[in-house]
Structure 1
Amino acid sequence: MSAHGIRSHPAGMYGVEVSPDLTSRAADAVTHELDASQNRPLDAVRPVIRKATTWMTVLARAP
């Protein structure tokens, strides 16, 4: 999204004018947070086995 698009959103939604400097500082802060979030180490993922649900499904289909 362009800086003009970012500035026009609050003007259209709330009737508030936003300075280009504020738009630039806000975009820089968001970009910094986004970069930090994307470069963080991933959490360990452990598979969840749902045997009870499978067993119940098999019993429900039995004649």
Structure 2
Amino acid sequence: MQSEAILEFAQVCPSEWNINIETSLNVPLEQLEPLLTGRFSFIIDMKAMQPDIYKQYRAG
């Protein structure tokens, strides 16, 4: 997830816009925390909850 780029983009958008982010959420919490405001909504694509299965899914 490109948190910094998303935040930069949000700064140039009208403040009344809600920004939707589509993600699998397989990112460190530090990357997610800056985006946990009322401005952002998430569409979460859950692939797997177990890290080994997730890696297999993403590999091919």
TM-score after normalising by structure 2: 0.29
Instruction: From the CA coordinates, give the structure whose radius of gyration is larger.
Output: 1
Q: Between Structure 1 and Structure 2, which shows a larger proportion of strand residues?
A: 2
Instruction: Pick 1 or 2: higher relative contact order, CA cutoff 8 A, min separation 6.
Output: 2
